[in-house]
């Protein structure tokens, strides 16, 4: 063999090497290892309590009926629910903007009109959210809110009209009502409204319309056993991977759970948790309807409505929403933040901050019930008017409620009936001795 055969041999060898390389590459690409199937991970049941619907969460705390020469009112849940159930059968249409520059005097004039019923909501309710409660035949519902809803039947020959008023923005909308059964309307709305307790208007010139119970109120003091919901259930509900969560005992009454993204502080003495995910914090304005629906959905996802909590307040600029505890139709307030309320601050696409109690009102101790007689709303208004420590015209509302006393040693929740008044989004407890609030229930 001479040198003349060396080059052809080299070419053949190179071709073989390239061919082998291609075959190995194809084999690697198409190779599927025969792994044993992985055991499916067990899912954790994170439903702490039952989910709730929009109409259970967004409810008026009071209804006032204006007749020709009489004002009647009620906070009774059964009567309010009966009226709302009837309203759910109506067809509403022709939503239109009446005015957008109303002042307090204009509102007072409308609220004083006879032959109508006014629903009072503590927070501004987005129309696009309440559309889940009422049957509104309109695809172009605006991104607007209201805190007063009026059923007006003053035109006896025509169907009722619904007015939606916002004291915050000065907006006034109205809708036409189509009744499926007028007799049912008279029985379940008008007649129920005429069975309310007697109220009276407090004369305050051009200040907002204010009506309070005319007679003393008999209310029951209540005592409940406090049932603790295990914090581990909230850990499983709020963290994406509960197994990756680390627990740290801070001191005798505080624990902390956390992973690389969020942490949850637990106050084991008063049974309150504070969950925060710092990375999703947002300072951007959020549409009120979107904000409220997101915060409600978030609590529904883990069944967080452990007692009767109702929507109470929202600030779309700080993305903050508050839900208030209610018992027998009355709001419950506490000197300790987060004990009688659930608050959320919404971040980018998920909750940023979540503060709430992790107890529930268990069995009521009937032998601890105490019947108490509260002064009339008229007497409370008179005392507040005479106080030198506040401007009476600044008071937006006067209503009965419950003051929460937490008996830590015996694990009891004591609810004491009393009067509250509202000034600049803060509820203050009326104390006849000092005429001062028992701690301001602040809003962000």
Query: Count of CB atoms within 10 A of residue 198's CB?
Result: 12
**Average pLDDT of the segment spanning 156-175:** 92
3-state secondary structure of 113: coil
> What kind and span of H or E run contains 75?
none
* Cα 74 from Cα 399, distance rounded (Å): 11
Supply the pLDDT for residue 3. 45
| Average pLDDT along the chain | 88
Q: Is the pLDDT of residue 419 over 90?
A: yes
Provide the pLDDT confidence category of residue 24 given band limits of 50, 70 and 90. Answer: low
Provide the pLDDT confidence category of residue 23 given band limits of 50, 70 and 90. Answer: low
**Average pLDDT of the segment spanning 369-398:** 91
**Average pLDDT of the segment spanning 99-126:** 93
Give the pLDDT confidence of 135-156 residue by residue, as tens digits. Answer: 888 778 999 999 999 999 998 7
Percent of the chain with pLDDT over 70: 87
Instruction: Answer left, alpha or beta for residue 273, where phi above 0 means left and psi between -120 and 50 means alpha.
Output: beta
**Average pLDDT of the segment spanning 297-307:** 96
Q: Is the pLDDT of residue 191 over 50?
A: yes
* Cα 64 from Cα 72, distance rounded (Å): 6
Supply the pLDDT for residue 155. 86
Q: Is the pLDDT of residue 13 over 50?
A: yes
* Cα 222 from Cα 367, distance rounded (Å): 9
Q: Is the pLDDT of residue 38 over 50?
A: no
Supply the pLDDT for residue 359. 95
DSSP assignment of 41-58 = PPPP----S----HHHHS
Higher local confidence (pLDDT), 192 or 37:
192
Provide the pLDDT confidence category of residue 31 given band limits of 50, 70 and 90. Answer: very low
Supply the pLDDT for residue 37. 39
Any alpha helices (H) in 245-302, and if so which ranges?
Answer: 288-301
Higher local confidence (pLDDT), 195 or 132:
195
DSSP assignment of 189-256 = IIHHHTTSEEEEEPP-TTSPP-EEESS-EEEEEEEEEEEEPPHHHHHHHHSS-GGG-EEEEEETTEEE
Q: Is the pLDDT of residue 29 over 60?
A: no
Supply the pLDDT for residue 281. 96
Q: Is the pLDDT of residue 307 over 90?
A: yes
Provide the pLDDT confidence category of residue 437 given band limits of 50, 70 and 90. Answer: very low
Supply the pLDDT for residue 16. 63
Lowest mean pLDDT among 186-200, 314-328, 421-435: 421-435
Lowest mean pLDDT among 31-45, 104-118, 320-334: 31-45
Sign of the torsion formed by the C-alpha atoms of 276, 279, 283 and 288: negative
Q: Is the pLDDT of residue 157 over 90?
A: no
Cβ(396)–Cβ(423) below 8 Å = yes
**Average pLDDT of the segment spanning 105-123:** 94
Tokens of 376: 């009339």
CATH fit for domain 215-444, picks 2.70.98.10, 3.40.50.300, 3.40.50.620, 3.30.310.160: 3.30.310.160
**Average pLDDT of the segment spanning 318-326:** 98
Percent of the chain with pLDDT over 90: 73
Give the pLDDT confidence of 328-352 residue by residue, as tens digits. Answer: 999 999 999 899 999 999 999 999 9
Provide the pLDDT confidence category of residue 425 given band limits of 50, 70 and 90. Answer: confident
Give the pLDDT confidence of 46-97 residue by residue, as tens digits. Answer: 789 999 999 999 999 999 999 998 999 999 999 999 999 999 999 999 999 9
Supply the pLDDT for residue 55. 95
Domain boundaries, the chain: 54-214, 215-444
pTM of the shown model: 0.86
**Average pLDDT of the segment spanning 269-278:** 96
């Amino acid at each position: 063999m001479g040198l003349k055969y060396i080059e052809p041999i080299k070419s053949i060898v190179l071709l073989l090497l390239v061919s082998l390389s291609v075959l190995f590459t194809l084999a690697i690409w198409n190779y599927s290892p025969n792994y044993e199937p992985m055991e499916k991970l067990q899912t954790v049941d994170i439903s702490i309590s039952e989910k709730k619907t929009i109409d259970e969460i967004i409810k008026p705390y009071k209804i006032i009926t204006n007749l020709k020469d009489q004002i009647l009112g009620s906070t009774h849940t059964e009567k309010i629910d009966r009226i709302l159930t009837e309203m759910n059968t109506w067809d509403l249409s022709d939503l239109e903007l009446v005015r957008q520059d109303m002042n307090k005097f204009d509102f007072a004039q409308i609220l004083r009109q006879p032959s109508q019923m006014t629903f009072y909501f503590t927070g501004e309710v987005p129309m696009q959210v309440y559309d889940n409660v009422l049957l509104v035949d309109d695809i172009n519902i605006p991104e607007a809110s209201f805190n007063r809803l009026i059923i007006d039947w003053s035109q006896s020959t025509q169907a009722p009209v619904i007015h939606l008023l916002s004291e915050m923005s000065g907006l006034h909308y109205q809708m036409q009502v189509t009744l499926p059964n007028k007799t049912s309307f008279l029985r379940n709305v008008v007649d129920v409204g005429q069975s309310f307790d007697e109220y009276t208007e407090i004369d305050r010139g051009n200040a907002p319309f204010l009506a309070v119970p005319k007679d003393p109120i008999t209310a029951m003091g209540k005592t409940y056993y406090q049932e603790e919901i295990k914090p581990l259930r909230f850990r499983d509900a709020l963290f994406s991977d509960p197994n990756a969560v680390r627990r740290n005992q801070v001191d005798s009454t505080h624990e902390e759970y956390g992973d690389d993204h969020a942490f949850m502080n637990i106050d084991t003495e008063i049974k309150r948790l504070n969950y925060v995910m710092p990375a999703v914090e947002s300072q951007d304005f959020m549409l009120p309807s979107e904000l409220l629906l997101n915060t409600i959905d978030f609590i529904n996802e883990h069944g967080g409505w452990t007692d009767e909590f109702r929507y109470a307040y929202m600030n779309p600029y700080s993305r903050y929403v508050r839900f208030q505890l209610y018992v027998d139709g009355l709001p419950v307030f506490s000197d300790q933040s987060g004990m009688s309320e659930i608050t959320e601050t919404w971040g980018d696409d998920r909750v940023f901050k979540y503060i709430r109690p992790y107890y529930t009102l268990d069995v009521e101790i009937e032998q601890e019930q105490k019947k108490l007689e509260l002064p009339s709303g008229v007497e409370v208004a008179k005392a507040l008017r005479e106080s030198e420590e506040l401007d009476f015209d600044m008071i937006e509302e006067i209503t009965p409620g419950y003051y929460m006393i937490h008996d830590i040693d015996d694990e009891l929740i004591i609810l004491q009936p009393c009067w509250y008044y509202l000034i600049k989004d803060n509820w203050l407890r009326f104390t006849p001795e000092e005429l001062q609030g028992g701690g301001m229930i602040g809003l962000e």
